[in-house]
Amino acid sequence: MKKNLRKDLFIISKLINDKEKILDVGCGSGNLLDFLLKTKKAICRGIEISQSGVNDCVKKGLSVIQGDANYDLDDYPDDAFSTVILSQTIQAMIFPDTVIKNLIRIGRRAIISFPNFGYWKVRKDLMLKGKMPKNDILPYEWFDTPNIHLCSCKDFKIFCKNNNIIIEKFICLSEKGIEMKTNYLSNLLAYQVIFCVSKKNKN
Amino acid sequence: MKSLIPIDKLQIKNPIKLYSGEYIDSCEVAFKTYGTLNKKKTNAILVCHALSGDQFCSEINPLTKKQGWWNILIGPGKVIDTNIFFVICSNVLGGCMGSTGPSSINPQTKTNYGLKFPVITISDMVKVQEKLVTALGIKKLFAVIGGSMGGMQTLEWATKFSNKVNVAIPIATSYRHSAQNIAFHEIGRQAIMADPVWNKGNYYKTRKGPTGGLSVARMIAHITYLSERALQRKFGRNLQNSDFFSFNFDTDFQIESYLKHQGTSFVERFDANSYLYITKAMDYFDLSAKKGGLSKVFKNSNVNFCFFSFTSDWLFPTSETKTIIKSLNSSNSMVSFVEIKTDKGHDAFLLEEPEFHATLKGFIQGQIGKHEI
């Protein structure tokens, strides 16, 4: 089962405790939710914008709503979930700041993963080639990319600080999807990053 | 219309107490089943029909000789597979296909009820369906499914009898009838009541009944089931019989001819008083009017929901479904929701819509794994 799961999703799954109540925002075909349902007995919900994604999810018996995270997260009550997951999606949001605030409102914590735009090869593309960066997780051309709000891991940390968001955990992944040690060079060396965040003043 | 074809009926001995407080004595429920009930009686799916529907949802309708209204979806090997499931479909209370309604004989007066028939609600319809399901020995339905008014019944089942339903699939429906929906129904009712043959509902001794009024009611309603784009695509401004205008009030345009056909074929099979009663029942429907509002009615529900809406449906637009989804989300219910892209309007739920059928099939298969059948 693990084989079918993207490496970053598997690392996210390791952060989930048994029987947690999960909302996966942008759950795609539901592979992570399905995995969490089977291995962690998690109570799973999902939001997915694409019809084909929703179809795949409901075929797996998952409870998934077709919707747009930019607008539909407002409908969820506070603290409805123990963890809300947003994997590789934040950079495509129209209102990433509102979405992040919603995630930590709905969930006691949020797990957010994204491609690190501070990665040295990304910087190299722009500096040496003078071209918009492209790689496996940023595969699009400048004109057709859905990724309209890319950020570096430093940007994200500053955002959290400015918005009173607590970073509970910070994980860096290499280009091969292997967990790396985090240090002061993470923003340069991490290919993608996973943040566990929560709001301040929680009970 | 009243046929010699045998119709399966359940006789309910005890009087049914209606939402209005009135009673119906010796109520009958006409129904049809497809497939076989398994030994544990866990594979039953109740199909709820819409305003103009009947119990003949699959195969050939023995009365009209046409395909059942959901034959596209229900049958051996189909999305609702009758090789696996036992499908039950009953004519609603107030209907005219064998269930007790205004055209039935009032046991007390030995004549047709007419307007003496008490006003009914969606909740009353579901009440008698529940008696039928119980009479068939089924303790818990695998699923309840329906579109439009059938979706209202599905929602009613999922809230009133949530312990008797594993899965609820409301399609192209709402938790309440909007002002616009009520308005269109009222025009239809006024058309019927303006027909002199209607005679305050007392027309059963006439040969045909208020066919003029009923057919206008159907024509108005039919427009609300389609979409502007679909009408334009199908008919445009095409003329029916010639390349020139007739310069009189006969049928010039194809759309006129189509609507007239819808009207005239409808009056062959439908009772005008039933139309009044059933539209009224839909207008009265409002789950949010119950104590505590919409979120309260779904609280602690163990039902697995899967909602469908259609992009071009302006009678029951997606926003209506989303309001229900919001309440279900806030009460932690198990809910899936898909909006299908189509230009076919409200009627899309009855038509060939591959994405809708694929998702529905997937959902049902997913649920088979979750509930023992």
- DSSP class per residue in B11-51: EE-SPEEPTTS-EESSEEEEEEEES---TTS--EEEEE--T
Check pLDDT > 70 for residue A2. Answer: no
pLDDT digits (tens, 9 = 90+) for B4-54: 567 899 999 999 999 999 999 999 999 999 999 999 999 999 999 999 999
Do A66 and B337 make contact, defined as CB atoms within 8 angstroms?
Answer: yes
Instruction: Give residue B292's pLDDT.
Output: 80
Residue of B nearest to A61 (CA): B366
Instruction: Give residue B1's pLDDT.
Output: 44
Please tell me the number of Cα atoms within 13 Å of B26 on its side-chain side.
6
Find chain B residues with C-beta within 8 A of A65's C-beta. Answer: 325, 329, 335-337
Instruction: Give residue B291's pLDDT.
Output: 80
Do A51 and B338 make contact, defined as CB atoms within 8 angstroms?
Answer: yes
CA distance B183 to chain A (A): 30
Mean pLDDT to the nearest integer, A100-108: 96
Among B338, B340, B353, the residue to mutate for chain A (most A Cβ within 10 A):
B338
Say if CB A21 and CB A82 are below 8 A apart.
yes
Residue of B nearest to A72 (CA): B326
Q: What pTM value is reported for the model?
A: 0.93
Give whole-number Cα distances, B36 to B81, B88, B139, B146, in Å.
Answer: 11, 10, 16, 20
Q: What is the DSSP letter of B289?
A: G
pLDDT digits (tens, 9 = 90+) for B297-323: 888 889 999 999 999 999 999 999 999
Q: Which of B135-149, B156-170, B292-306 has the lowest mean pLDDT?
A: B292-306
Please tell me the number of Cα atoms within 13 Å of B360 on its side-chain side.
28
Cα B95 to Cα B122: distance, rounded to the nearest angstrom: 12
Mean pLDDT to the nearest integer, B60-81: 96
Check pLDDT > 60 for residue B3. Answer: no
Catalytic site residue B252? no
Return mean pLDDT, chain B. Answer: 94
Find chain A residues with C-beta within 8 A of B329's C-beta. Answer: 45, 65, 75-77, 80
Check pLDDT > 90 for residue B373. Answer: no
Closest CB to B366 among A51, A58, A80: A58
Residue of B nearest to A46 (CA): B336
Cα B46 to Cα B33: distance, rounded to the nearest angstrom: 9
Cα B119 to Cα B83: distance, rounded to the nearest angstrom: 38
Domains of chain B, start order: 8-177+289-370 (3.40.50.1820), 181-280 (1.10.1740.110)
Mean pLDDT to the nearest integer, A64-85: 93
pLDDT digits (tens, 9 = 90+) for B185-209: 999 999 999 999 999 999 999 888 9
Q: Domain A2-199 is in which class?
A: alpha beta
Q: What percent of chain A has pLDDT over 70?
A: 97
B95/B292: higher pLDDT? B95
A128/A203: higher pLDDT? A128
Do B341 and A51 make contact, defined as CB atoms within 8 angstroms?
Answer: yes
CA distance A61 to chain B (A): 4
Instruction: Give residue B293's pLDDT.
Output: 85
Active-site residue identified among B215, B313, B327, B333? B313
Check pLDDT > 50 for residue A111. Answer: yes
Mean pLDDT to the nearest integer, B119-142: 98
**C-alpha torsion angle, residues B355, B360, B362, B365 (rounded to 10):** -160
Instruction: Give residue B295's pLDDT.
Output: 81
Q: Which of A50-59, B19-28, B142-151 has the lowest mean pLDDT?
A: A50-59
Q: Where are the alpha helices (DSSP H) in chain B?
A: 122-135, 149-160, 179-194, 211-225, 228-234, 254-269, 272-284, 293-298, 318-330, 354-370
CA distance B259 to chain A (A): 33
Find chain A residues with C-beta within 8 A of B168's C-beta. Answer: none
Among B337, B355, B356, the residue to mutate for chain A (most A Cβ within 10 A):
B337
Among A20, A47, A52, A66, the residue to mutate for chain B (most B Cβ within 10 A):
A66
CA distance B363 to chain A (A): 5
Q: What percent of chain B has pLDDT over 70?
A: 99
Check pLDDT > 60 for residue A203. Answer: no
How would you class B142 by CB atoms within 10 Å of its CB: exposed for 0-12, middle for 13-18, buried for 19 or more? buried
Find chain A residues with C-beta within 8 A of B334's C-beta. Answer: 63
Check pLDDT > 90 for residue A112. Answer: yes
Find chain A residues with C-beta within 8 A of B305's C-beta. Answer: 63
Mean pLDDT to the nearest integer, B255-274: 96
